[in-house]
Amino acid sequence: MLRLAVPNKGVLNEAAQTILKEAGYRSRKDSKELVVVDPENSCELFFLRPRDIAVYVGEGTLDVGITGMDMLADSGAPAEQIIPLGFGVSTFRLAAKPGAFTSIHDLQGMRIATSYAGLLGKYLAEVGVDARVIKLDGAVETAIRLGVADAVADVVETGTTLRNVGLEVFGDPIAQSQAALIKQVGAEETPAVRQLVRRLQGVLVARDYVMIDYDIRAERIDEAIAITPGMEGPTVSPLHREGWVAVRAMVPRKGHQQIMDQLWEIGAKAVLVTAIFACRL
Ligand SMILES: Nc1ncnc2c1ncn2[C@@H]1O[C@H](COP(=O)(O)OP(=O)(O)OP(=O)(O)O)[C@@H](O)[C@H]1O
Ligand SMILES: O=P(O)(O)OC[C@H]1O[C@H](OP(=O)(O)OP(=O)(O)O)[C@H](O)[C@@H]1O
Ligand SMILES: [Mg+2]
């Protein structure tokens, strides 16, 4: 049995469940379910707080888990990324009242509120700043207004939360993060883990790529291949029309309209773009 940890709440919950479902694993029927057994995939899914997932995986009680890389770094647990998953993308940053500070070095002797005390503590040690870390569970942006802190260190995505309380980021970003599949440091990747990884990678590729099909004059095939090189070279098949070939290749979803324009410029006909439902590369 593969034992897999999935975020039970927060912004990672829905995206993690979606990617696992697309990868062929069972979903839970309601948000109160804490363990789901998936016999077809010989897998058990444990729904846990994203912050705790690194701890379970680091201890080796669960084989793999999905959590934010910032949470993994914050926990200090001996776990590592297997693959990034492309969601829960955020930056960990300092913020304060506009104009109050310009760099981390202005925070010597100040109070900084955060729910990522581990991550902030490591950063302060790295840059040699001695500040007081005020550990809070969430909604840390309010700490300044309530007089508990002079600055905050928190996750920023769109910046809406900071704007709403009249705060501004300052200094260099402390860390970039996104959700990842993680395992214990040094743990061997079992066949079940490798299969999960292949499936997740297949979903990520299917999300990022589309399939393009078109017909082109045989003498322009080199130009066409330069535009649509595919993953390992496009499929080129003869057409039942003298002097023409059919080409099929995967291209990035982003920018596929520009690729269609370029193909049209070199005389391609019947250019079709279709979504990839699933793939294994
Ligand atoms: N608004 C956001 N956009 C993108 N990613 C985010 C956002 N907020 C948090 N994250 C990321 O999601 C992960 C989990 O954060 P989340 O806020 O769900 O956990 P939490 O704060 O412990 O839980 P909760 O907010 O339910 O108390 C972290 O890696 C974080 O960087
Ligand atoms: O830049 P934004 O797009 O506004 O997103 C960032 C906000 O999202 C998260 O809050 P969450 O909803 O998880 O609440 P929390 O602070 O209680 O964790 C994070 O802690 C920030 O407050
Ligand atoms: Mg949160």
CATH 3.40.1160.10 assigned to domain 90-176? The reply is: no
Q: Which residues face 3 on adjacent strands?
A: 44
- The pTM for the full model equals 0.92
To the nearest whole number, what is the mean pLDDT of the chain?
96
Of 70, 55, 63, 60, nearest in space to 12 by CA: 70
pLDDT one-digit tens code per residue, 96-116: 999 999 999 999 999 999 999
| Residue nearest to ligand 1 atom 2, measured at CA | 157
Classify domain 2-88+178-188 at the CATH superfamily level.
Periplasmic binding protein-like II (3.40.190.10)
For residues 29-57, give the mean pLDDT. 96
Tokens in use for 123? 């950063």
Distance from residue 241's CA to the centre of ligand 2 (Å): 59
3-state class (DSSP) for residue 259: helix
Q: What is the CATH number of domain 209-275?
A: 3.30.70.120
pLDDT at res. 280: 87
Tell me, what amino acid is at 57? V
Instruction: Print burial letters for 138-170: b (CB count within 10 Å at least 16), e (below 16).
Output: eebbbbbeeeebbbbbbbbeeeebbeeeebebb
Q: What is the pLDDT at residue 142?
A: 94
pLDDT digits (tens, 9 = 90+) for 115-150: 999 999 999 999 999 999 999 999 999 999 999 999
Location of each CATH 3.40.190.10 domain in the chain: 2-88+178-188, 90-176
180 has pLDDT over 90: yes
- How many whole angstroms from 157 Cα to the centroid of ligand 2? 8
Residue identifier of the C-alpha nearest atom 17 of ligand 1: 10
* Pairing label, strands 64-68, 2-7: parallel
Q: Name the closest-CA residue to atom 21, ligand 2.
A: 155
| Ligand 2 mean position, distance from CA 277 (Å) | 32
User: Phi, psi (5° rounding) for residue 207?
Assistant: -75, -35
pLDDT band at 242 (very low <50, low <70, confident <90, very high): very high
